[in-house]
Amino acid sequence: MQVNVIDRPRFYAKYGKRLLDIFISSILLPIIVLFMLMIAISLLIVSGRPIFFTQERTGLNYSNFQIWKFRTMRIDQIQKSKVNDWEGGVPEQFVFKNSQDTRMTGIGKLLRKLSLDELPQIINVLKGEMSLVGPRPEVPEITAYYNLEQSKRLYMKPGITGLAQINGRSNIPHGRKINYDIDYVENCSFLLDIKILMRTIRVVFSREGAY
What are 53's strand-pairing partners? 69
In the chain, domain spans: 11-206
CB burial string 107-129: b at 16+ within 10 A, e below: bbeebbeebbbbbbbbbbbeeeb
Torsion region of 42: left, alpha or beta (phi above 0 gives left; psi -120 to 50 gives alpha): alpha
pLDDT digit string, tens, across residues 66-123: 999 999 988 765 655 565 678 778 888 877 665 556 778 889 889 988 889 999 999 9
The secondary structure of 28-74 as a DSSP string is HHHHHHHHHHHHHHHHHHHT-S--EEEEEEE-GGG-EEEEEEE--B-
Distance CA 162, CA 117 (A): 16
**pLDDT confidence tier of residue 6, bands split at 50, 70 and 90:** low
Q: Record the pTM.
A: 0.85
Listed range (4-18, 60-74, 165-179, 192-206) with the worst mean pLDDT: 4-18
